[in-house]
Amino acid sequence: MTPAPLSVENLTFKYRTRPELAIEDVSFELKQGELLLIAGSSGCGKTTLARCINGLIPRSYRGERSGKVLLYGKDVNDMEIPEMAQIVGTLLQDPERQIVASNVFNEIAFGPENLGLPRDEIIARVDQAMKRLNLEYLRERETFNLSGGEKQKVALAGVLTMNPSILLLDEPLASLDPASAHEALQVFRSLADEGKTVILVEHRVEDALEIKPDRLLYMEAGKIKYLGGIEKLPKEIDHTQVKLPAPWVVQRVKGLDKVEETARSHKSVERGEPLVVFEDVDFRYGEDYPLILQNVNLTINRGDLIAVLGPNGAGKSTLVKHAIGLLKPTRGRVLVEGKDTREMSVAQIAKVLGYVFQSPTHMLYAPTVTEELEFGPKNLGFAPDDIKVSVKESLSTVNLTGFDEYPPLGLSFGQQKRTTIAAVLAMRSKIMIMDEPTAGQDFANYTKFMDALCNTSNGAHSILTANFASTLFITHDIDLAVTYANRILLFGDKHIVADGKPEDVLKDADMLLKYRVRPTSLLSLNLELLSKTGEFLPAESLTKFVS
């Protein structure tokens, strides 16, 4: 009898740098051609489990391990890395950690080249992976000029060229626009149907459900809470911890006989004076490069809660990097509180605008979380007592209290992302700009810090509400825009193609699909009930309007 592709037996692991168990007594088995969805809150052990399966534990991450992980009956501890790499293909949460080559073709060819395959076969594999993921247009591009979503797709193509029998995908949708996520999921389903074993670790549960995973493994605090089918919402899954389809949430809340009220005070904030102004802005990286921004005009006012939507590679991150002075316009100008960014240092702008990068590894450097959070306020000249208050309240807001002395790079990707958000919160800038704030985040964590940032009464923190005049977030999570924004910018074709209230911009399904934004069940339910509600609401609050 042929052994199963993957068997996990009584697996327990504790990191050397952490006091608690990361996973405890985890056991399951996967068959060939099975697609398993693994879900759970940030830090619940999903990534640790993945590291045990692909051999990064114990090779790259040290700690105490018991139990077994078997690939086709062979213990991963007894396998060499090249042997494992041909069986388990891993896509990491953060593509920045996976990309090694300077150009796209070389990056995708890197794995097969290291296997010593003939050149003709390498080229054939690269061409096949690019075609499968619609990446031909990136073939000659430099990797450092790619958007986060494009890097994610290139990293996935590199995994596919290795032709592994087990695919281990850790948050593969985190940086992808909704249409790209949909396309990637179809690829995962087809790979499973072709006989590959696919492990999909994902917070975007609603998206993943589209492709009908064979089973769901749901984790809490390092343990398996549920393992089985998902034709309907399993009672073991807490709808406040994982973002689920809106109809499932409504059904669950109705069953509890308790409709949760969610304050929406932030939606009707009075708009005030202009804080950031873009005037006829064009931008390109050099004379030989195409325009990335063209004729962009935008005013960010006090009281704005702006969600920026649009396809991967459209220039959304480039847009906000102009606001914080990291990039200067090729034509036109950007004004921050009336001053041209060309005449301001990045440090001066940082007093007005705090920026959370898409990739946390671009921001984290300090040995402890506390030192990471203290760095900005110290450089801005905060008094020591004010720094302590900022650090404490910022950690509380992102649910990292108790992680003060942990090394940031030893945390999970989701916890690293929240550390970067806390680091910017602690600086008390007037405007908070976040690039993909929910990447790697579970529903409960991002709801807490978004409530605080958007000044709802159930999540407000005095330090934050006293300082933030406006918040802007780039996101591929349309539900985040539905729930928190009072203004939507749809970005595409190098400029802003729509700017207005969520109810106005998000009702145009044809325009959304043109710019690779796919409507969700929450958006559909909000549009259906808008005449009753008068505004967009989270799923729990819609329950009382559903007959």
Which CATH number fits the domain that encloses residue 276? 3.40.50.300
Handedness of CA 165, 170, 175, 177 (dihedral sign): positive
Q: Are residues 403 and 508 in the same domain?
A: no
Structure tokens at 335: 């004004």
- C-alpha 159: how far from chain center: 20
Q: Are residues 390 and 515 in the same domain?
A: no
Structure tokens at 50: 């993945």
Q: Are residues 96 and 108 in the same domain?
A: yes
> How would you classify residue 55: left for phi > 0, otherwise alpha for psi between -120 and 50, otherwise beta?
left
Number of other CB atoms surrounding residue 80 within 10 Å: 8
CA distance 182 to 196: 19
Mean pLDDT by 10 residues, the chain (547 residues): 92 91 96 96 88 91 94 93 88 84 94 92 96 91 87 92 94 87 92 96 90 95 94 86 90 75 54 93 91 96 94 92 95 96 91 90 91 93 93 91 91 88 92 89 86 61 63 94 95 96 95 94 96 93 90
Q: Are residues 330 and 304 in the same domain?
A: yes
Radius of gyration in angstroms for the set of CA atoms belonging to the chain, rounded to a whole number? 23
Check residue 319 and give its pLDDT.
95
Position 68 in a domain: yes
Position 321 in a domain: yes
Q: Are residues 50 and 154 in the same domain?
A: yes
Check residue 265 and give its pLDDT.
44
CB 466 within 8 A of CB 478: no
Query: Among candidates 332, 425, 410, which has minimal Cα distance to 376?
Result: 425
Q: Are residues 329 and 383 in the same domain?
A: no
Q: Are residues 327 and 385 in the same domain?
A: no
CB 422 within 8 A of CB 414: no
Position 531 in a domain: no
Position 503 in a domain: yes
Structure tokens at 291: 């325009």
Q: Are residues 433 and 423 in the same domain?
A: no
Q: Are residues 290 and 213 in the same domain?
A: no
Q: Are residues 214 and 332 in the same domain?
A: no
Position 133 in a domain: yes
Position 261 in a domain: no
Range of the domain at 492: 269-352+429-520
Position 43 in a domain: yes
Q: Coil, helix or strand for 391?
A: helix
Position 295 in a domain: yes
Angle (nearest 5°) at CA 248 between 242 and 253 = 85
Q: Domain ends where: 371, 397, 428?
A: 428
Handedness of CA 147, 203, 475, 434 (dihedral sign): negative
Q: Domain ends where: 428, 449, 480?
A: 428
Name the domain count of the chain: 3
Q: Are residues 206 and 112 in the same domain?
A: yes
Q: Domain ends where: 405, 428, 451?
A: 428
Q: Are residues 102 and 52 in the same domain?
A: yes
